[in-house]
C-alpha cells in the first residue's frame, strides 16, 4: 500500500510494475539485468481518488496518461532495480500530491491607468519604427 496523505492511500492492486532492460551506460550489466521500471497506476478506476483530483491528475500527467485512464511512469535513472522502483513510486506520490492542490480561482482585475499609458506609448513607438522601414525615395 502506497500512502499519499492521511485520507488517501493507493492499494497494491492499482499498481502494476514491469521491469525491462535499461538504455544508456552500464556495460554488460545493461544487456543482462532488467533494471528499468515502468509503473502503471490505474488512476481512473481508483476508488481512493476523488473525481476532481483525477481530472487534475490527468492534466498534470500529459502524455503519461493513457486512453484507458492509466498513468504510466518510467524510471531508468540508476543501475539498481530497487532504487528505480522507489524513484518511480516517489514520482507518482509527488504527482498525486500536486493534483490534490486545488488551484486558486483567478480574480479578474482591471488594468491600471499607468499600464494603459505604457502600452499605448509602446504601440506608438513600434508603429514609428515600422513606418521608418518604408521605401526610401532617391532625391
Q: State pLDDT tens for residues 32-65.
A: 778 889 999 988 888 888 899 999 999 999 999 9
Rounded-to-integer distance, Cα 67 and Cα 69, Å: 5
Contact 64, 75 (CB under 8 A): no
Does residue 116 have a pLDDT over 80? yes
Q: Which three-class secondary structure state does DSSP give residue 41?
A: strand
Domain extents for the chain? Answer: 2-100
CATH 1.10.760.10 fits 2-100, yes or no: no
Global pTM reads 0.71
pLDDT band at 67 (very low <50, low <70, confident <90, very high): very high
Residue 139: the pLDDT is 67
Amino acid at each position: 500500500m502506497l500512502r499519499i496523505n492521511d485520507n488517501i492511500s493507493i492499494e497494491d492492486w492499482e499498481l502494476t510494475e514491469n521491469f525491462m532492460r535499461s538504455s544508456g551506460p552500464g556495460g554488460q550489466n545493461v544487456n543482462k539485468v532488467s533494471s528499468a521500471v515502468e509503473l502503471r497506476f490505474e488512476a481512473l478506476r481508483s476508488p481512493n481518488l476523488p473525481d476532481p483530483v483525477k481530472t487534475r491528475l490527468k492534466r498534470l500527467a500529459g502524455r503519461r496518461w493513457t486512453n484507458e485512464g492509466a498513468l504510466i511512469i518510467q524510471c531508468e535513472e540508476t543501475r539498481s532495480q530497487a532504487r528505480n522502483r522507489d524513484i518511480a513510486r516517489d514520482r507518482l506520490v509527488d504527482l498525486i500530491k500536486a493534483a490534490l492542490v486545488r488551484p486558486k480561482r483567478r480574480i479578474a482585475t482591471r488594468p491600471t491607468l499607468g499600464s494603459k499609458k505604457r502600452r499605448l506609448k509602446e504601440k506608438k513607438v513600434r508603429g514609428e519604427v515600422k513606418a521608418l522601414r518604408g521605401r526610401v525615395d532617391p532625391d
